[in-house]
Amino acid sequence: MKRLPIAVLALACAFTGCKKDNEDTPAPAQSKTDMLTSKRWRVIADVSTETINGKTTSYDEFADYEACEKDNFTKFSPDKTLKVDEGTLKCDPSADQQSSGTWDFNSDQSKLLLASPDLGGLTVPFELVELNSTTIKLRLTQTFGTDPNKETYTETYTFSAF
């Protein structure tokens, strides 16, 4: 009689030990479009670097942002439009609360192509340095002239999701 409870216990252990573990299955990776469009994004850093005649100087542009600029945010939509919102604090009370633009990726998704009135109506190709669920880092590099008088200006923007 004692063998039956031991056999039942052994059988129960065997079944619970063979249970499929669904927690080991990783969640599918989010696409760049999903990461970009699922949140609102606020600039938290803006650093410019210039190299002239081999001398490089960096400047913290974000330190000069007014409080009314620091609360602005951008919302990217799946239909490839974007809205730049002035946030709670507006620098110019008569300005529109939002301005519109468009966005897209280049063919290999290494650049984010942005067009908005804030960019003079031009489509500007920003290098996509980083994009994940919490951070976007974009870099714009412009080079003028040729060696030895070449000048390179780079501005790197870091956005945080919220």
Distance CA 162, CA 160 (A): 7
How would CATH label the architecture of 30-161?
Answer: Beta Barrel (2.40)
Q: What is the pLDDT of residue 97?
A: 97
Residues 37-72 have pLDDT tens digits of 999 999 999 999 999 988 999 999 999 999 999 999
Question: Please, which residues have CB within 8 angstroms of residue 110's CB and are 6 or more apart in sequence?
Answer: 127, 128
- Domain parsing of the chain, residue ranges: 30-161
Sign of CA dihedral 156, 124, 37, 84: positive
Q: What is the pLDDT of residue 118?
A: 75
Average pLDDT of every residue of the chain: 88
Residues 13-25 have pLDDT tens digits of 444 454 555 567 7
Confidence of residue 3 (pLDDT cuts 50, 70, 90): very low
- The single-letter DSSP state of residue 154 is E
Is the separation of the CB atoms in 45 and 61 below 8 Å? no
Distance CA 123, CA 117 (A): 10
Has residue 6 got a pLDDT over 70? Answer: no
Is the separation of the CB atoms in 155 and 142 below 8 Å? no
User: CB count, 10 Å around CB of 55?
Assistant: 7
Mean pLDDT over 82-91 rounds to 97
This prediction has a pTM of 0.80
Residues 92-127 have pLDDT tens digits of 999 999 999 999 999 999 999 999 877 778 999 999
Supply φ then ψ for residue 114, to 5 degrees: -115, 140
